[in-house]
Structure 1
Amino acid sequence: MNFAKKTMSFALASVMVASSLLTGTSALAAEKKVITPMTGTSQAIVATVKDNQVNGNSYYSFTPATTGYYAVTLASKPIYKSTDGTYSANYTTGAERVDQANVSISKSYNATTNEFSENVAYVSAPQSYSIDWTQASASSAPVETKGYYDALETVQLTGGHTYYISAYTSSESNLVSGSENHIIGSATLKITPSDFYVDIQEKTVSKKSFNNSEDKNITTPVAYVSYVGAAKDVVVPNFVNNTIPVEKFEGSNNEKITSLTLSPNVKSVDGLSDIKTLASVNLANVEKIESGAFSGCSDLNNVVIPASVKTIGESAFSGCSALSSVTFNEGVKKIGRYAFYNTALKAAVLPASVVSIGNYAFGYVESFNTNTADPYDTTNVLADGFVMGGKSVEAANYAAINGIAYYDMTKGCPHAYVVTTVPATVFAKGKKISTCPLCGNTITKSIKKKTFKISSLKAAKKALTVKAAAQAEMKGYQVQYSTSKKFKKKTTKTVKVATKKKLNKKIKGLKSGKKYYVRVRAYKMNGKKTVYSAWTAKKSVKVK
């Protein structure tokens, strides 16, 4: 994402619009400067805009305490409107007609020339939109219902800097010409810190009349938002200002995000590439995952593609090196090329709804040419053991073209088990794990602990020598010897031998003519804890 580019283009547009308004016949005359620092945890201001004034003055100033993004909202509604949503001609003095109010925020003000400069935001009047278009019966006329949504812009402000707010309303003594002769009322301006950069768009939906004889385009506002806050766990809201649905999430410049939860209204997601910490994603009701949306998110290991998703763009999850599990629900239709390229996937199970799969979308990883020093000399190779399955004809075709094993799952999973063995040691049991990469079914069988034995036990004069083979993971041995066959405590002694090599221990000071029983066990360290193997079978020898 390029936030700088978006902010710059917005600021330039703001300067052009505001300057045209402030240099005309309705330019403001400076009367009074009001300094009101933003204080408290909310860091928010509320002002009233009415008749070319802000809070009763020709301009208003404020100083944010912290640097960051702020939502500038101009909230207002018309009081009078007819049943079809149009304005009534029966306005009286003081009636609220606020869709003529506009506000400009500038970084500088010259009291001598009465000029505002370095405009950072221009908030136009609240906009009307069509809520619905209905027809009660075939004989009645269709009725259009209109509404208003608050004007909103997002702007980056610098803490400690003083900004200037100027208001602009309609000319001609604040009257609107024509049959709708009414007076402009007031609007509420709010400036509050925001974790989201908001871009208001208009969405057009076609609706039909009662008998489908006539189409009507209904235009409603939707919000495209980007996250500009510092939180690690991000939840994208359902609405902006509680009225405008958030339809697209355009990403973030926060590289510390660990989890993302989209709201049910969000239909498109983009702009999260190379966020290395992102490990969890809830896609909710998303319909389109844009090209490159999550590419390079190396901590992302599991993704569920909901039934609402219809399109997965090119390279959407490319380079997600830890991504080992993707669940596709019935509904997805198009999967772009390189969509799951260079991931840890061992299988892809696709539903019957899939009708298009781009080149290198599944099964391929990047391989570097070891015969050259050029870091860009790479090729695409099939990942070892990658398989595909499901109910999609397109998936079967893709597998056949690319030489990938395919399993038809229309009657259930055939279980293409892959066996992994965890070797047993003298300290722990082993495992034989059979896992189906298609459905995840796992069968685990235990492998007994390994045992070892005393390889040699020889007597000498008042001594004996015991030998045993070295064991994996071991730190050393314990040797027990006793004149008791049952190794009773009073007659048993233990010797520790700290070596990772084979055991060759001579024990001296024994009684001549006595029969000694000997057993051995290995030990290893697990942190500060000592872990022992089982004792070997005992052996005996008569000391000389």
Structure 2
Amino acid sequence: MKQNKWKLLTLCLFFFGLFILARNDSLDVKAATVTHKENGWTYTITDGTAVVTDYTGSETEVTVPERMTYNGRSYLIRSVGDSCFEDCDRIESVTIPEQITYLGKCAFKNCTSLREVTILSDLDGCSSYSINATSLYHGRDSKTNSVFYNTGSNAPSLTVTFGNGVTYIPSYLFATADENGKRNYCYVTEVNIPDSVKEIGEYAFYNCFALEGITIGDGVTNIDEYSFANCTDLQATEMGTRVNTIGEYAFSGCTNLDTLVLNNSLATISSYAFQNCSLKEIVLPTSLKALEKGAFKNCTFLNDVTIQSNLADCNKSSINTNSIWKYDNSEDYSVFYNTGANAGTFTVTFTNGVTKVPAYLFATGYDEGQNVYCHITDVKIPDSVTEIGDGAFYNCYDLKTLRIGSGIKTIGEKMFTSSPDLTIYGYTNSVAETCASEYRIPFVSVGAIQPTASGNSGNSGSSGNGNTTTSSGSGTSTSGSKKTSSTSGKNSSRSSVSLSRPFISKVKNKKKRKVVLKWSKNRSASGYQIQYSKKGSFKNKKTKTIKSSSKGKITLKKLKKGKTYYIRVRSYKTVAGKRTYSSWSYVRSVRIVK
């Protein structure tokens, strides 16, 4: 009996040992890395997680798989591994499905034929080493980290589309450190950002020199620092209707950016956001609260600025020519440092409702001979303004005309000492007249102040006019109220339908005597009308009509080489057989050189 018990105990111990060994083996298998190849794809399975690590297939249009099966078990694919598609120069289109959360370093490096990228998922941020030109540490440079290094260089264009449901564009996604001349950057030409996206991460499109058009959805609230810096082919952009903050250097170095539309949700334009751009006209929205240092530094073609809100005072360091503290001087702090130098004239208009001209807004600390001051020539201040802050126009040497409304009560210090050709237009017996006398500046009266029962000025017809009207062809746009109207046809007011003004995102002479024109589409419209002329007045214009709201592109043909053409677009809605038009887009110009 005892012998049988010992045999039974020995047998139990034996099977228990086998169980332990089997369990350890199973743990080892689970921890081991398994490589599996199928249909041109290579997968790596580690700890129950699958990653696609290589593609050797022959397809030109590729969608990253959502799942793979190994030994009868299905695995969800979450990542595209490092260098997965590197040197796949036959691929023309790639789709990143919803479950992918990570793109590895150099994942699409040297995919030179890539012309279309569709991203349907929220991706993790990419490596900050993507913007390092060189590094003391091996592997910490752009060439070994940029996800889209030298991508699309042999394709006619590269369009990036983010799917509805994507909420964030990751930092450094398309960034490289390469300069334009080295030709190894990401050649993305067009980006479509849906309303679901809330934030564009820092450096997301940094050094995308070929980027020509951006559609920013109405869900975006933050455009982070350096997001679109050095996109030198970008000509125009319109902020989404909910953009609250434009980050530091966000569009810095976009040297061909000459058209900018800001909507009424924007609160802050951060430091150097539009440094070195070619902006010509800026309408700052009523929602804007702060212009930070260097926001429009070196915008030398700027000729018209409209201000519709009460802005915070600017930094007094704007007038410092030198300082014991590094970066504490005019070049680094002046909001409008070296602006308008190539414009000829430069007009600043404050609209009715603004109550203060911020201190040091247009100030610099440099001598006239250095030619880096703000080249304002004309300023219009309405009746609603009661105060001009200290040094608001300090060292504006080119200032010739200052029109001051009847409401002014306080004019700060250090205002006009460096404006030798200035004439002030204002009211007799006003603070403006007193200031002109003190500074020995010529004064021209526009009338006498007529107090009303409430004690406020009741004089109209002064330099303190109400809303400022900006002409865009035959349509008009009122800066103060932002209401639009069109005077180009009798049918324009026959319907209560409201149509937004189209935004021209691209106008480029690419082929012989042809211009490619793109604009924002309006789903509620019935179609679009395009006009172009060799004259800015649109005399002898030609008109094209597109009877579809889904088409936002046209090629204008048989243009004259060597001539400059002016182009505008408007949408229309047909109701009961009658057309209602939007106002015209901002006019864009293009010179035919090919």
Q: Same fold (TM over 0.5)?
A: no
Which TM-score band applies after superposition, normalised by the shorter structure?
Answer: 0.3 to 0.5
Greater per-residue helix proportion? 2
So what's the TM-score if we normalise by structure 1?
Answer: 0.38
Larger relative CO (CA 8 A, sep 6+): 1 or 2?
1
Greater per-residue strand proportion? 1
